[in-house]
Structure formats: structure tokens, C-alpha cells
């Protein structure tokens, strides 16, 4: 029994560096869900300049310094996405995506948010170089409480 306990302790210690490792780099703008997951991957890696670029050619909803400061106390963000709905308009496709997130602060506090992201893909055939990839067009989140699957909202098409 002692040998089994000692072995379990060694396994836990051996995996500790892996548990604290930085998440693998993810930059996938092929779907609304992968775009939002890539955004939070940048946040989790503290790559705020990269995260800011997911808001497209005009940047985020506020100046970059304010944007980065907003994540100063964020250790990690877990994200759950629902099914995206699409709607086309004037050479663009907009995807509305339900999202639930759990943000862990440096102080160990969990804060949940839920809401809807709208992403935009300008039809590549309507663009000249440089082509703008899919980007976050709009994000509306509100405070929520509970398991991510339980707080994932229904999002009407925007």
C-alpha cells in the first residue's frame, strides 16, 4: 500500500510541470468557434497583441492599452461554444456564436460570463490583397453563474 501511495505521489510530481505548461499555440480562423477559441488561447498565453488582432482590421472595442489592462488579473479562461448560425449580407457572412466562459483570476477566483459573439467573414473573392480573415465583429457578454453548459445562451441571429 505504501508503495502504491509513493508511486502515485511521484506521478503527481512528475506531471506538475505539464499541468503548469503554457497552452499550445492556436490560431485557427476557419470557423466562428475556432476563431473565438483562438482568441482565448492568445489571452491564456498572455499574448494580448495577438488577441487584439482577432477583432479585425480596426482592432478591439477599446484602445489596445485598455484592452490589455482588462486581462491583467486573468490567469486562465476556459471557453465553451455552442452551434454557430450564419447569415449573409452584402458580400459578408456573419456567424452568431453562443459562448460561456469561466475566467480564473490570479487570486484564484472564478468568474463566469455568457453571451454571443458575432464574427464576420468578408467573402475572399470580394477582397484584394491583403485578404482579411474572419474576425470578431461584436461581442456581448454578461456576468453569469454556474456550469458552462448550463449558462450557454441561445443567441438570435444578429
pLDDT per residue as tens digits for the range 111-156: 999 999 999 999 989 999 999 999 999 999 999 999 999 999 999 8
pLDDT value for 22: 87
- Give the residue among 78, 87, 86 at the shortest CA–CA distance from 114: 78
Residues found in the chain = 158
How far is residue 108's CA from residue 129's CA, in Å, rounded to a whole number?
45
pLDDT per residue as tens digits for the range 32-83: 999 999 999 999 999 999 999 999 988 788 899 999 999 999 999 999 999 9
Instruction: Give this prediction's pTM.
Output: 0.84
How is residue 148 written as a grid cell?
458552462
Contact 111, 101 (CB under 8 A): no
How far is residue 8's CA from residue 13's CA, in Å, rounded to a whole number?
9
How is residue 96 written as a grid cell?
452568431
Q: What is the CATH number of domain 27-151?
A: 3.10.450.50
Amino acid at each position: 500500500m505504501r508503495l502504491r501511495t509513493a508511486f502515485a505521489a511521484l506521478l503527481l510530481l512528475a506531471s506538475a510541470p505539464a499541468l503548469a505548461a503554457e497552452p499550445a499555440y492556436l490560431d485557427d480562423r476557419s470557423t466562428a468557434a475556432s476563431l473565438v477559441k483562438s482568441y482565448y488561447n492568445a489571452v491564456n498565453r498572455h499574448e494580448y497583441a495577438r488577441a487584439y488582432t482577432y477583432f479585425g482590421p480596426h482592432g478591439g472595442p477599446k484602445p489596445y492599452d485598455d484592452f490589455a489592462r482588462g486581462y491583467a488579473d486573468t490567469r486562465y479562461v476556459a471557453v465553451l461554444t455552442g452551434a454557430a448560425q450564419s447569415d449573409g449580407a452584402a458580400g459578408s457572412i456573419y456567424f452568431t456564436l453562443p459562448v460561456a466562459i469561466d475566467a480564473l483570476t490570479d487570486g484564484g477566483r472564478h468568474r463566469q460570463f455568457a453571451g454571443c459573439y458575432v464574427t464576420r467573414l468578408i467573402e475572399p473573392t470580394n477582397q484584394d490583397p491583403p485578404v482579411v480573415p474572419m474576425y470578431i465583429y461584436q461581442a456581448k457578454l454578461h456576468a453569469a453563474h454556474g456550469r458552462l453548459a448550463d449558462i450557454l445562451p441561445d443567441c438570435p441571429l444578429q
